[in-house]
Amino acid sequence: MYQPPGVETSPDLAVPDLMKAWVLGDPDQLFLREKPTPIPSRAEVLVRIDAVAICATDLEIIHAGSPASIQGGPPFNKNFTPGHEYMGTVAALGPDVDEFKIGERISVEMHAGCGQCKRCRQGMYTSCLNYGKPEKGHRANGFTTDGGFAEYAVNHINTLARVPDSMSDAEATLVVTAGTSMYGLTELGGLVAGESVVVIGPGPIGLLAVAVAKALGASPVILTGTRNTMARRLIREPAHTEQYRSLISSSASSACAEAWCTTDP
């Protein structure tokens, strides 16, 4: 039974010693294998993964390796598990962790900086100077350390966000994706409620940027791009849809580009 020294477990949430995990072989080869269930260190928890999204970057990694890098080289045939957009349940606590409890539902972000380099101390931990050095405490799950295409993963407590009961597992996998959009709007963009926002490109992050901008009170929110069916559906599904109107815009890249504009907050 899983009971590493210093790690707190609970009889309510039994953890196996071995877990199933998808492992990257050659390019475009994923194998389902057994691996030892990972062990959380100080300030880390073990997460039982309940849902994981497949990001376009995952497909890129599985096909071409980059931007994942293991031991400074391509991630192929290194027993590496991709996947970085996942959520789950706290299943075990590393030594002295009291910030979270076993059984809590959480969503994760992939980056944990080393916490000691200059960039980490400035809060710029996604460009940690010890990037790719797990021995220094850095993790980028699904990029430089094992990710979420598995039954369990280890996450630093700074990478966890509690998930409300009202949010489904599937929705919670996209918390980090929504956070990416939100960072662009609030931290980089300095959005103030009532300002207008134009989102260029209806990919997953663009669509979430529309939702986040509206939630933050931007008005109007204009989405430009060519992913017509999905963008129309996602933009028109929320309540108060009557005020949505579509605009036809010209685009240098596509003659059939369209923009959807809403005055609905």
- Can you give the binding site for Zn ion, defined by CB under 5 A? 55, 57, 113-114, 117, 120, 128, 130
Q: Which is nearer to Zn ion, 139 or 220 (CB)?
A: 139
Give the shortest CB-30-to-Zn ion separation in angstroms.
17
Q: Which is nearer to Zn ion, 125 or 152 (CB)?
A: 125
CA-to-CA distance for 112 and 68, rounded, in angstroms? 15
Cβ proximity to Zn ion: between 33 and 136 the closer is 136
What is the smallest separation between the CB atom of 125 and Zn ion, expressed in angstroms? 6
CB of 42 to Zn ion, least distance (A): 16
- The nearer residue to Zn ion, 114 or 207, going by C-beta atoms, is 114
**Closer residue to Zn ion, CB minimum distance, 41 or 57:** 57
Q: How far is the CB of 249 from Zn ion (least distance, A)?
A: 28
Contacts with 166 (C-beta within 8 Å, 6 or more apart), sequence order = none
Find all residues with CB under 8 Å of 199, minimum gap 6, and list them.
206, 209, 210, 213, 221, 222, 223, 224
Question: Beta partners for 224?
Answer: 200, 259
Strand, helix or coil at 245?
A: strand
CB atoms within 10 A of CB 265: 16
- Nearest distance, CB of residue 117 and Zn ion, angstroms: 3
Q: Which residues contact 193 (CB under 8 A, 6 or more apart)?
A: 216, 217, 218
Question: How many C-beta neighbours within 10 Å does residue 31 have?
Answer: 10
